[in-house]
Amino acid sequence: MIKAPAWLQLLSRSAAALLGGYALSYAASACLARILPLSAADAVIVATLPAFIFYTVAMLWAFACRDALRAWAPLALAVPLALIGFWPQVMERLT
């Protein structure tokens, strides 16, 4: 297997931490706001609070994992969370 230069791995991990972490925290907040049994305003406020934890964990994960490819795992996790969180808006636009 070809090893990428160190600067490219660092760039990939940094992009994964910034973009993947943001996508994960945004999708997790949307998912939590959708599934919490509260009023809409309260659900958004309560769902936004753990987003800081999700973002921090995703950034730590990007630099703690073994290779740069695994650093992109939070972005892969964000896709199903985003589908749950934004499904009503998607269906509304399609109909």
82 contacts 25 by C-beta, under 8 angstroms: no
Q: What is the model's pLDDT at position 45?
A: 94
Q: What is the model's pLDDT at position 86?
A: 85
Residues 40-90 have pLDDT tens digits of 999 999 999 999 999 999 999 999 998 888 888 888 888 888 888 888 877
Name the token pair of 6: 């160190």
pTM of the model: 0.82
Between the alpha carbon of residue 78 and those of residues 1, 7, 22, 43, 65, the distances in Å are 28, 26, 9, 19, 18
Name the token pair of 24: 């994960």
